[in-house]
Amino acid sequence: MSVKWPLLVAILRHEKSFSDLSNADWSLLISQAKRSLLLGKLYYLLEAQNSLIDLPDGPYTHFETARVRAEKQRRDLGWELTKLKQAFSETNCPVILLKGAAYAAANLSISYGRTFSDIDLLVPASELSKIESRLIIHGWLHQSKDQYDDMYYRKWMHELPPFKHAKRGSIIDLHHNILPITALNCPKAGSLLESIVELENDHSIFTLSRLDQIIHSATHLFYDGELEHGLRDLVDLQGLINELDENAKLHLADRALQLGLHKPVFYAVRYLELILNTPNLESLRKKLEQNGARIRSLNIMDFLFSKAFMPDHPSCDSRWTGLARWILYVRAHCLRMPWHLLLPHLTKKLLKRLSKTNSS
C-alpha cells in the first residue's frame, strides 16, 4: 500500500528527516504536532538525534516552550503525589498510578515531553468510598455535571466522576477498573491489582506491571471513541513495547489473552506496524493471531483507523476523516455498553440537552 503520510507521521516513521525541512515544513510540522500533543515528544526526538543545535530560532522557540511546559508538569506531579500520599496514608490502600502520571512518576523515557491533563488512579472497588472521602477531606471535590451524570458514573462506569482540587486545580480520575463494567471484555480488576509494581525511586507509589500498562494503553485506545489524540497514544504504545525483549513480547500476548484483552493488543500491534512502521513485532502479532485475535473485517478497520489516527489538523483531513472518526466513536460506545443500556442513556442525554437549550 503506497500512502502519502502527513508530515508529522512521516517524521515519526523516519521517512523524512528534520534536516530536510523548509520553513514551511517546520510551520506545518509544529502545527500538526501541537494538535496531536506531540510537540514535547518531538523535542526529545530532536535531542536524541543531536539536532536541537541546528534548529532555526523560530521552530526552537516552540519546541523549547513544549519542553518547559512538560518540565513544569513533572514538578507539579511531584507535588501532587506528595499530597496524594498524605490523603492515602490514613488508609491501607496503595497509591496506584495509571497512564501518563505513571509513566512520568516512573521516569520512563516515553514520559519525556508527554503531557497529561489529569492523574489517573486505580483502587480496589471495595476501597472506593473510603478513598473518595479521603480525597474530599484533602480538598479534591467532585466535578460531576448533575445528579444523572453522577449516578451514571457510579452505576456503570469504571471510574468516579473526576475530582478537582479546590485550590490547586489538579484533576484526579479515580478508577476501580480499566474498562466500564458493562464492557464486552471487562477484565477482572483483581488480576491487575495482584501484579502491581512499586516504583524504584519511591516505594510508596505503584503502577501496573509493564505488560499490564501496555494492555491498558491499548485497551484505552481501541475501546475509546475519541481518537483526536490517538496518534499520541500510539506513540506511547510504541515506546512501551520497544522496551520489551522478544521473550517479554510473547509474555505480553499470554497476559493479554489471560485478561481477555488480546484484541486491543492485536490492533495496537497492527497499527504500530502500519502507521508508525514499528519493526520487530512479527512474532507478537503471529502469537496473537494464533490465539484468536484475528479480526475478520480488518480491511475496513485498517481504512477507518488509518484515517482516524492522523493528526487532528486540516492539512491531514481527507473526505473520509470525519466519517471514520464518527464510526469508530459509535463502535467504541457499543463495545463499552450493550445496546439495551446504551440507548436509554443516549436518549436521556439528548432529552437533557434539549430541555437545557429550551430553557436558556
Closest CB to another protein among 35 and 255?
35
Q: How far is the CB of 197 from another protein (least distance, A)?
A: 31
Q: How far is the CB of 312 from another protein (least distance, A)?
A: 8
Residue 53 as a binder of another protein (CB under 8 A): the answer is: no
**Site track for another protein across 264-303, x = CB under 8 A:** ----------------------------------------
Residue 253 as a binder of another protein (CB under 8 A): the answer is: no
Q: How far is the CB of 33 from another protein (least distance, A)?
A: 10
Closest CB to another protein among 75 and 319?
75
Contact assessment for residue 285 and residue 269, using Cβ atoms and an 8 Å cutoff: yes
The correct pick among 9, 35, 252, 336 for binding another protein (CB under 8 A) is 35
The correct pick among 26, 223, 267, 271 for binding another protein (CB under 8 A) is 26
Tell me how many degrees the CA angle 132-107-75 measures, rounded to the nearest 5: 65
Sign of torsion over alpha carbons 206, 208, 214, 218: negative
The correct pick among 15, 64, 194, 282 for binding another protein (CB under 8 A) is 64
> Which residues ranging from 299 to 318 are in contact with another protein (CB under 8 A)?
313-315
The correct pick among 3, 13, 17, 23 for binding another protein (CB under 8 A) is 23
Long-range contacts of range 296-303, CB-CB < 8 Å, 24 or more positions apart? 298/270, 301/267, 302/270, 302/274
The correct pick among 58, 190, 338, 344 for binding another protein (CB under 8 A) is 58
Instruction: Quote the CA–CA distance of 185 and 166 in Å, as a whole number.
Output: 36
Residue 69 as a binder of another protein (CB under 8 A): the answer is: yes
Among 162, 87, 174, 186, CA closest to 123: 174
Question: What are the grid coordinates assigned to 334, written together?
Answer: 457499543
Residue 59 as a binder of another protein (CB under 8 A): the answer is: yes
Q: Put residue 207 in one of left, alpha, beta given phi > 0 → left and psi -120 to 50 → alpha.
A: beta
Instruction: Quote the CA–CA distance of 305 and 328 in Å, as a whole number.
Output: 8
Question: What are the grid coordinates assigned to 102, written together?
Answer: 505513571
CB neighbourhood size of 212 (10 A): 26
Q: How far is the CB of 315 from another protein (least distance, A)?
A: 6
Q: How far is the CB of 169 from another protein (least distance, A)?
A: 12
Residue 358 DSSP SS3: helix
Instruction: Give residues in contact with another protein (CB under 8 A).
Output: 23-24, 26-28, 31, 34-35, 56-62, 64-65, 68-69, 71-72, 75, 313-315
